[in-house]
Structure 1
Amino acid sequence: MLNPFPEAVSMKSSLQAKIDEVVAQHFPTLLNLLIVRQGSLVVERSYHEGNATASTNVKSITKSIISTLVGIALHEGYLTSLDQRLEEFFPQSFPTSGDQRKREINLRHLLTLSSGLQWDERAPTSLPSLYASADYVAHGLSLPLQHTPGEVFAYSTLDAHLLSAVLTRATGMDMLAFANQYLFGPLGSTITTWTSDPQGNRIGGSEIALTSRDLAKIGYLYLKRGKWGERQIFAEDYHAAATQTQITPGLGGYDAATYGYLWWVNTVGPYHTYYALGYGGQIICVLPDLDIIIVTTAPTNVPPEQGAGPQVFALPRQLTERIVLPLLM
């Protein structure tokens, strides 16, 4: 099944006008808005210079793609367990002296952004220092251990990138090629742009370019618990774990969300939801109880207070409350 949902069904002009009015009033920066309901693409609207079929850097949605690729690697036998330790893949990068708790970091810790490595995503030096280094993995593993692995959530592009490097080592494949073969190819898509580090590892926490329709397909794959047509892309038990609370951030500004395996987890009223969230307002929001997927893209050339502030984390809830529930249910 290459296309799980048909072209956007015809909307009444009155409904279209209401949606456009809500977007203009409450979500003025959105470029694209797609909503899939019961397998049909019921809303596909573009604003400003938006284009649902054009690829764009979806920023930290890349983290949720990495989670998906971990699930696939487990399903295909490239990985044996989430308890595999990072040291197994990069033994030369672990110091023989110093804090030996680093050796306890495993794949589950990376998926829950709880490696314990000293990292502050919003600090002005964290990402620039990583991106300026000659070896991202070595740089990351040279950082002090601030917490025992698995105990404390710290939002971290580094942790997600270490997973990308693990996948590259475990599969022996470039992650762009792996993603096209095992994920996007079966979904009827092909990706061509995903930035690499100096060693050729694709950036695990950002920098993949996808279309809004690609994002909707990822949401639909998760809505179907990892199944695409008759093909199980990744295991149902991985889907269940990835989209349920594994760790609680314990910080403000996340709209009370918890964290699964590189997916945010929350509720809107009585409805369970989980979502991938990228800087500026890139979103895949899945509402399984309602059989709904919401996708948005938005500009990324915005200051941090606009691109990663509380208002961005509130978007899945607000889109559900202002558009889905009053206009589509």
Structure 2
Amino acid sequence: MTTLDALEGLHGVVAVRRGETILEHYGTGPDASWARQLGVVEFGPETLHDLRSITKSITAILYGTALAAGHVPEPSEPLLRSFPRYPDLAADPSRARLTVEHALTMSLGLEWREDPPYTSPDNAEIAMELAPDRYRYILSRPIAEPPGNRWNYCGGASALLGALISEGTGCALPEYARLHLFEPLGIDSSEWITGADGVPSAASGLRLTPRALARIGTMILADGDGVVPASWLATMLQPRLATDWGGQYGYQWYIEQVDGHHVLAAMGNGGQRLFVLPELSLVVAVTCGNYDGNEQWVTPLTVLRDFVLPNCRI
């Protein structure tokens, strides 16, 4: 039988069921933090790991805490109203139709491609990071279709949400996360990568341990655990649009079926995953190093299907 050590690029797994850790495993292998090569790393419980686009899902959680405090606009409100520094864009009727919800659901209708490698400026997220003004870059992209019609993967949407949080709360995104999510959950170690302009990446910059990531999943199972409003989690995790592969998308979270189980998922490049299975009271956090690989989804799904689910019974 295949072992966890034999799975390609697997760096860490933490599975928690009904508050008890049922599986914890760490490997050794090469890793990178964005484009910075870290060499061969011996992973352990305290080793921080890039979460890549799981950052987007955690940004959505933070949006909910800021919304409950009245610091950010409601999802239905016009998006460009929160960016008055771009009056020329707001004057465009097609762009004036954009709402915060279109950013939350990645349905802005703007031209945005992230299929080129994340090492190339042809990738829109990389181009955003290189732009002199990342928010103008996002909001001035050519209009491809009416907003709200279709899900189109867009790190720029998450960056806009990060701006709304930091500007609305007057607190840098990493500090806001520390005060209003991490510390209340007992997470005492994190990093947040910034772009060349010094702005923390709300799309892909967060680094946490697998244990910390699992703690966030456990918070979701606990209806916010008194830290995040339960009403926001219910709203955030409501299916709204279909993804390209047939799953559903809520507010920066995926809602899927795996082997007949309802799965809430946060996903990141390289095989980073947070799986939350409410009916099994199960959370599985997986970190991997298969960045930009065509089959990067295989390892985390194998962990869930072959090493965790067979040991869980309702």
TM-score bin, normalised by smaller chain: 0.7 to 0.9
> Alignment partner of 2:188: what SS?
coil
User: What letter is aligned with 2:311?
Assistant: L
User: Any runs of at least 4 consecutive aligned residues in structure 1 with deviations exceeding 6 A, and if so which?
Assistant: none
- The question of 1:105 aligning with 2:98 is answered yes
| Structure 2 unmatched runs, 5+ | 29-41
Partners in 1 of 2:269 and 2:76 — Cα distance? Answer: 30
> Alignment partner of 1:209: what SS?
strand
Partners in 2 of 1:47 and 1:143 — Cα distance? Answer: 41
User: What letter is aligned with 1:237?
Assistant: S
Q: Which residue of 1 aligns with 2:237?
A: 243
Q: Which residue of 1 aligns with 2:35?
A: none
Q: Which moved more, 1:117-126 or 1:65-74?
A: 117-126
In structure 2, do the counterparts of structure 1 residues 150 and 313 end up closer, same or farther at CA, with 3 Å as the change threshold?
A: farther
User: What letter is aligned with 1:320?
Assistant: L
Contact map agreement 2:89 2:95 (CA 8 A) in 1: no
Q: Which moved more, 1:217-226 or 1:267-276?
A: 267-276
Contact map agreement 2:105 2:250 (CA 8 A) in 1: yes
Q: How far 1:96 moved relative to its partner?
A: 5.4
Pairing of 1:38-77 with structure 2 (within 5 A): 38-48=18-28, 49-77=42-70
Aligned partner of 1:143 among 141, 144, 155: 141
Q: Which moved more, 1:317-326 or 1:178-187?
A: 317-326
Q: How far 1:34 moved relative to its partner?
A: 0.8
Aligned partner of 1:114 among 107, 113, 118: 107
Contact map agreement 2:80 2:90 (CA 8 A) in 1: no
Q: Which residue of 2 aligns with 1:131?
A: 129
Q: Which residue of 2 aligns with 1:5?
A: none
Deviations along 1:231-253, one digit per CA (max 9) or x if unpaired, are x222222211222311112x24x
Structure number with higher strand proportion: 2
User: What letter is aligned with 1:133?
Assistant: A
Pairing of 1:1-329 with structure 2 (within 5 A): 21-25=2-6, 27-48=7-28, 49-95=42-88, 99-123=92-116, 124=120, 125=122, 126-197=124-195, 200-227=198-225, 232-249=226-243, 251-252=244-245, 256-299=246-289, 302=291, 304=292, 306=293, 309=294, 311-313=295-297, 317-329=301-313
> Alignment partner of 1:64: what SS?
helix
Contact map agreement 1:180 1:191 (CA 8 A) in 2: no
> Alignment partner of 2:305: what SS?
helix
Contact map agreement 1:135 1:197 (CA 8 A) in 2: no
Partners in 2 of 1:203 and 1:151 — Cα distance? Answer: 26
Deviations along 1:149-182, one digit per CA (max 9) or x if unpaired, are 1111110111111110111111111111111110
Deviations along 1:296-316, one digit per CA (max 9) or x if unpaired, are 11115x4x2x1xx3x444555
Percent identity reads 27
Q: How far 1:321 moved relative to its partner?
A: 2.3
User: What letter is aligned with 1:239?
Assistant: L
User: What letter is aligned with 1:234?
Assistant: V
Q: How far 1:140 moved relative to its partner?
A: 1.1
Contact map agreement 1:34 1:294 (CA 8 A) in 2: yes
User: What letter is aligned with 1:271?
Assistant: H
Partners in 2 of 1:32 and 1:52 — Cα distance? Answer: 9
Q: How far 1:52 moved relative to its partner?
A: 2.6
Partners in 2 of 1:247 and 1:315 — Cα distance? Answer: 26
Q: How far 1:80 moved relative to its partner?
A: 4.4
Partners in 2 of 1:270 and 1:133 — Cα distance? Answer: 43
What TM-score, normalized by structure 1, do the two folds share? 0.83
What TM-score, normalized by structure 2, do the two folds share? 0.87
Partners in 2 of 1:97 and 1:218 — Cα distance? Answer: 36
Q: How far 1:23 moved relative to its partner?
A: 2.2
Partners in 2 of 1:271 and 1:152 — Cα distance? Answer: 25
Task: Please tell me the root mean square deviation across aligned C-alpha atoms, in Å.
Answer: 2.1
> Alignment partner of 1:284: what SS?
strand
Q: Which moved more, 1:116-125 or 1:174-183?
A: 116-125
Partners in 1 of 2:302 and 2:249 — Cα distance? Answer: 19
Partners in 1 of 2:139 and 2:49 — Cα distance? Answer: 30
User: What letter is aligned with 2:93?
Assistant: Q
Contact map agreement 2:105 2:151 (CA 8 A) in 1: yes
> Alignment partner of 1:233: what SS?
coil
Q: How far 1:325 moved relative to its partner?
A: 2.5
Partners in 1 of 2:288 and 2:89 — Cα distance? Answer: 45
